[in-house]
Every structure is written in structure tokens, then in C-alpha cells.
Amino acid sequence: MRYISTRGAAPPAGFLDVLLAGLAPDGGLYVPQDWPALTPGEIAAFAGAPYAQVAADILGRFAGDEIPPAELAAICARAYSTFTDPAVAPQRQIGSGRWLLELFHGRTLAFKDVAMQVLGGLFEHALARRGRTMTIVCATSGDTGGAAAAAFAGRAGVRLVILYPEGRISEVQRRFMTTTGAGNVRCLAVAGDFDDCQAILKTLFADQAFARQTSLAAVNSINFARIAAQSVYYFTAAAALGAPKQRVAFAVPTGNFGDVFAGWAARRMGLPIERLIVATNANDIVARALVDGDYRRAAAVATSSPAMDIQVASNFERLWFEYAGRDGAATAAAFEAFAGSGALRLSDAMRRAMNEVFTGVSAGEAAAAAAMANAFAQDGALVDPHTAVALAGAEGVALPRGVPLVVLATAHPAKFPDAVAVATGTIPPVPPAVAAMARRPERSDRMPADAEAVKAYVREFAE
């Protein structure tokens, strides 16, 4: 299995190289040179199979012959043994034809754990095999950082630096990052928003001399291994509802577009997904692009769903590349121009093609709060604000008769107790992981939204 860059100027690379590199050297994002394809029989066989087994099957198709199957199976088994539900990603019915896919049973109570725990094992395997150490730099809008800290704390050969927007994430999200006590984990509270953190991350990787000097790596969803691991729960959820004979729709709360692109990847591999509902909050750059073709950056607005407070959705470049006929030069020109102007226009043909699969929706604070209240009143389900955005956004989307809708529940409600309590009048129960974390001391350093300052910090830590 070989991987190419969305910008067309990087040589094809193998899975382990892509895993450790994250971003391609030409500034693009890696995608498979040829997408794996699953038969209907292979998809049907996932129904009732252990989650770790399905994950090893799917990831094995992306890894090719670079990881022995037995080793990959062991990595997946260890990763998912940490989840509090034996199904890893169980589904709960909420009303007729609607299901919640609970992705918050991992160590930091968010969907990012599903991929990040596997990434921790993959990195450890790859670095040990190559006798290397690396510095991972991660930009987070809330959940990625905590999941990365839980996955990499104490692992040999890895240093982890997490950038998060100061004051723009919940206390529980912050504590999952800042209380590991691990000597190989550092957290930086950046004076800015998530887009500032993400821009700094890209600047660090663009400086190839710095990246080489510090052995830089990334575990944000720019890392294709994250996309591959997240595609697994689309397969398990759909198979449980009757796929491939039954088509299934998904509603996905999104900011950086990685989770939605993982759904598109599953569809590209043969999963019969009827529709992907792309649900955004007030930071609706992706929804606007899908509705009227206007992919335009604006100032990020702080909301009760902070992991989605993003105005530059990195993974949208992967989708653009696929719908531009995999034209790397055209994709490079488009996104290099976007980096300067903050605006990109989809052609009518590209937008119509995307709309055959995607529906872009946006839900404001009032709609999300109402969705939280309704879910609790009607089904006894407490959902977090991000999941509520997907529930609210899906309300106006018509699906063919008999097609079930799976709403991705991306975070435990206890991560956002204030918002949930205001909307429902009920304080979510505190899981043991949150209670234990509240007693640990925090460690975090403040940093201006300045790439050179962050470089100096990372360089000193790496040395």
C-alpha cells in the first residue's frame, strides 16, 4: 500500500512513513494511492465481531505488509482493552429509526480515544522497529490533546507537546491534558483560538530543517492513520444495522472534517452509506461550502461545543483532492491561495458532486440546547453539546424511507456538565476517570500565538 500527497509534489510513501511523518513534505495531506475495497460478504461478516478484530482487519488493508498481522491484532487488542464498554462503540436507539453511536467509552471520554489509543501502539511499534525517537506536536480544540496525552504518556521514544487555545476549552478537557504527570508530555496554553494553534503546527512542519532537527511528528487528523482508525466504527455501526443489504445514514458533528472524511473513506471502500450529514455549530465554514460553494475563513466564535470552534477545516483538502479528480497541482494551487486569501470557491460541478453524498447543516446555541433537552425528555438520553449539534442539524434532513440514521455521540456529557445542566436541568453523573483527575495537579505553560516562540520551546524540550 502506497500513499500520495494531495498536493502532488511528494514521492509516494509507505504506511509507516506516513504514520511517522503526518504531513507530506510538500505541505499536502497523505491519502492512499489506491483505496482498499471490501466485498459485501466481508462487510456483512463484521456484524457481531469483536471491535478490535474489525479494527485489525480494516487497518491491515491500509498497512499492507508493513506490520505483521499478528502484531497489528495485538496492538488493536491492547488499545481497545482500555475501553469501559466491551463493544467499544455501542449503539443506543433514540426514537424510531435513530441511533446514537457512543464513541466516548475510552480513557478521556471522547471519540478521539478510538483512534488515538491505536496510534499510540502503532507509533511505539514503528519507533522500536526503526530505533528512533520523535517529538509529537499536537494542536487541539479540546479532545485531541487529552486523547493524545492518554495514548502517549510514558511511552518510550516519544515526546509530546500539546497546543490548546487558552480559555476556550472546558475544564475537564483541559485536565485530561494537564494532569498526566508524565515527563514526556508538555501542554502549552496558546493566547489565541484553535485556528492559531493549527497554523503554528503547520508552520512547524513547513520548516523542514526544524522538523528534521526535532524529529517532528503529528497525531492530529492530518495523520492519515487517524482517518483509517476512525473509519472502523462506521463499518461496525452499519453492519450492526444490516449493512451491506441495508443502507445507513450518519450525522457527524464536525470542526476539522476528519471524522466526516473517515465516513467518506468507509463509503469509498464499499460501505453503503446513504448520506453523511455534516453538522457544524456557528463556525460553519464547511456547511457553507457544501450549501453554496463558499469556503471562506472567518473569526472563530466561542460556543458551548468548543471542539468544533474551527474556521479552517484541514481535512477538507483531502475531500477537495478527491473531487478535483485527484489533481495534485490544482489542489496545491487552491489551498496555497486559500492560505493567503482565506477564501476558496467550489465550482458548481464540484459542489453538486459533493452534495450527492454530503448535506451541510449548521445549528446555533439555541438549537443545540433544545436538542439536548429533547433527547433527555423523550428518550432519557443525556448528550453533550457536540452531539446535540448533530441531532439538531439532522432534524431538517429528509432521508429515504427505511434508512436508519446514526448520530455520532462524540463526547461524554460529563465533559461539559454546565452546558448539559443548563439545557436539561440534570447534572451528568461523574465517571471515575473525571473524579480521579480532579485530584491531580495540573502542569501547563502559557505561550503567545507565535510560531517562533513555540519552535524555541519545542527545540529545548526535544534536546
pLDDT at position 324 is: 97
Could you give the CA distance from residue 364 to residue 7 in angstroms, rounded to a whole number? 34
Find the mean pLDDT for residues 330-358: 96
Q: What is the mean pLDDT of residues 135-152?
A: 89
Tens-place pLDDT, residues 284-295: 999 999 999 999
Look at residue 245 in the predicted model and tell me its pLDDT.
Answer: 97
Residue 270: pLDDT band by 50, 70, 90 thresholds?
A: very high
Report residue 268's pLDDT band, with 50, 70 and 90 as the boundaries. Answer: very high
Report the distance separating Cα 12 and Cα 433, nearest Å: 42
CA dist., res. 260 & res. 358, Å (int): 9
Stretch 404-413: mean pLDDT, rounded? 96
Whether residue 142 has pLDDT greater than 80: no
Using the CB atoms, write b or e for 175-188: b if 16+ within 10 Å.
bbbbbbeeebbbbb
What is the mean predicted confidence (pLDDT) over 15-36?
93
Which secondary-structure segment (H or E) carries 161? strand 158-165
Residue type, 320: W
Number of H helices, E strands in the chain: 20, 15
Measure CA 104 to chain center: 13
Is the entire prediction scored with pTM above 0.85? Answer: yes
Name the pLDDT band for 300 (thresholds 50, 70, 90).
confident
Q: Which pLDDT value is given to residue 384?
A: 96
pLDDT, residue 164, reads: 95
365-386 per-position pLDDT tens digit: 999 999 999 999 999 999 999 9
Q: What is the pLDDT of residues 91-141, one digit of tens each?
A: 999 989 999 999 999 999 999 999 999 999 999 999 999 999 999 999 887
pLDDT of residue 435: 83
φ, ψ for residue 19 (rounded to 5)?
-55, -50
Residues 6+ apart with CB under 8 A from 42: 57
296, exposed or middle or buried, with CB in 10 Å at 0-12, 13-18, 19+? middle
pLDDT of residue 230 exceeding 80, the answer is yes
pLDDT value of position 205: 85
**Residue 342 confidence (pLDDT):** 94
Provide mean pLDDT across the span 189-196. 92
pLDDT tens per residue, range 303-333: 999 889 888 898 999 999 999 999 999 999 9
- Is 202 a catalytic site residue? no
Q: Evaluate if residue 173 carries a pLDDT over 90.
A: no
Is 228's pLDDT higher than 80?
yes
The β-bridge partners of 100 are: 92, 407
Q: Residue 307 has what pLDDT?
A: 86
Give pLDDT, residue 431: 86
Q: Burial level of 342, CB count in 10 A (0-12/13-18/19+)?
A: middle
Cell numbers placing 167: 480559555
State pLDDT tens for residues 199-221. 999 899 888 899 989 999 888 88
CA atoms of 116 and 162, how far apart (whole Å): 14
pLDDT for 281? 96
pLDDT at 222: 85
In the three-class reduction of DSSP (H, G, I as helix; E, B as strand; rest coil), residue 306 is classed as: helix
Grid cell for residue 193: 483560538
CB atoms within 10 A of CB 199: 17
Per-residue model confidence (pLDDT) at position 459: 94
Contact 318, 18 (CB under 8 A): no
Q: Average pLDDT, stretch 389-415?
A: 95
Mean pLDDT of the chain: 94
Specify the DSSP class assigned to residue 250. Answer: E
